[in-house]
Amino acid sequence: MPETIAGITVPDSALVRETTELVRRAADESLFNHSRRVFLFGMLKSSARGLEVDPELAYVGAMFHDLGLTREHRTKHQRFEIDGAEAAQAFLRDHGRSAEEARSVWLAIALHTTPEIPLHLAPEVAVVTLGVETDVLGLDLDEISEEHRAEVVAAHPRPDFKNQILQAFYDGMVDRPGTTFGTMNDDVLAHFDPDFHREDFVRIIQQNAWPE
């Protein structure tokens, strides 16, 4: 039977069930609950904004969006967002979804830490960023009623979530600090490690190999 939380129905399909099982195995309770909240909040905000979203694609995007932070799925050579995006793309293609649909979810995950741009792309891209911005940053909470917020959090609690998600970010990126250049992710490494050295975009331009 389909599950409904805060008026949002989680599709009862093999794709969704397998997504849930995969992420539950790979992620801890905090990251799993966060990913489910991202789906629910993203769908609530999409509905409020009049966006029509494929709920299965939204679910895979939300559930895979932080998979690149987990021990099983992370690499050391690229951004964690790309780890999750590549896993989701392959998963969707293996489950019969089109290349275009899989690419939309790839973009949703790869760009979910890049402000503004996802909101100008397909609804299946925007929905993940809307959910992430709600759950992590608390942006535009007034678009979701207090009743719906309470229902989501009752189903997927967020105890000490601010500290938990920061620790998850750090643990998932500490061994690949170079991948955080040009993103907000370097703020996390700088917060936990006072010896972390940020790359400087201006310095890169000034000192690059082009002669002047």
Give the pLDDT confidence of 123-153 residue by residue, as tens digits.
999 999 999 999 999 999 999 999 999 999 9
Comparing CA positions, the residue from 161, 158, 167, 137 lying closest to residue 69 is 167
Comparing CA positions, the residue from 109, 137, 133 lying closest to residue 121 is 109
Mention every residue, 6+ apart, whose C-beta is less than 8 A from residue 80: 66, 68, 69, 74, 172, 173, 176, 179, 185
Give the torsion through C-alpha atoms of 34, 181, 116, 59, to 10 deg: -30
Please tell me the predicted confidence (pLDDT) of residue 2. Answer: 75
User: In this model, does residue 162 exceed pLDDT 80?
Assistant: yes
Give the pLDDT confidence of 67-88 residue by residue, as tens digits.
999 999 999 999 999 999 999 9
User: In this model, does residue 1 exceed pLDDT 70?
Assistant: no
